[in-house]
Chains A and B, each alone.
Chain A
Amino acid sequence: DAGVIQSPRHEVTEMGQEVTLRCKPISGHNSLFWYRQTMMRGLELLIYFNNNVPIDDSGMPEDRFSAKMPNASFSTLKIQPSEPRDSAVYFCASSLSGQGNQPQHFGDGTRLSIL
């Protein structure tokens, strides 16, 4: 069973550069979530989609962050321009909604370092 697939696993880049993180949810799941994890703030939601439509982006830090879900099997999170404070682990998760409460399954994350 393929789980949530994220790429890249690690990204190191210089500040000011554009960063694109990718996620493939579990096949058949219709909800997709982007979370960010840091020591200081823990796990926090950035944005989530239901049926490819963004529902809540209140967690997106600022206009430098954007996310898209062009189809049911792919989503991107883009940071442009990147800053050192964006360094964190970014997780994508997916679940099946519309059938009661279903668990969210996480990908392996992207460890992002902005120098």
Chain B
Amino acid sequence: GENVEQHPSTLSVQEGDSAVIKCTYSDSASNYFPWYKQELGKRPQLIIDIRSNVGEKKDQRIAVTLNKTAKHFSLHITETQPEDSAVYFCARHRQAGTALIFGKGTTLSVSS
């Protein structure tokens, strides 16, 4: 249906390790998948997005992969740093100009 399932809900890693967050969806018409980072008390900020005609996108230490057949997409953060600690939300929508459907969020804690 409409929901986006996001896992895990919490993730704790050591500085320098990698972190992976996965989201699944069921609406095959979805074609845009952004990821947002929200620090405590702040607004969600777009960190990376991917469109359905692409399987992977990378921006420095973050990357997103999309498997349209399996209907899942993942956020990968390499060489994590304490400042990566935040809540990360995946989202999807099916059409430009329509609202995003958000996952429930993953609280990432990076300890030094």
Q: Interface of A with B (CB < 8 Å)?
A: 30-31, 33, 42-45, 48, 50, 55-56, 91, 95, 97-109
Contacts and interface: CB of A to CB of B under 8 A. Distances in A.
A101 B96 contact: yes
A97 B104 contact: no
Contact of B89 (A31, A43, A99): A43
Interface stretch (B14-22, B43-51, B74-82): B43-51
Contacts of A97: 96-97
B31 A106 contact: no
Say which size band chain B's interface belongs to: 20 to 34
A103 B103 CA distance: 16
Contacts of A109: 43
Interface in B43-72: 43-46, 49, 51
Nearest to B32: A101
Interface of B: 31-32, 34, 36, 42-46, 49, 51, 89, 93, 96-105
Given A101-B31, A103-B49, A43 B96 contact: no
Nearest to A44: B102
Contact of B97 (A31, A106, A108): A31
12 contacts: A30-B97, A45-B99, A45-B100, A48-B98, A50-B97, A55-B98, A100-B51, A101-B51, A104-B34, A106-B36, A106-B44, A109-B43
B96 A91 contact: no
A42 B31 CA distance: 22
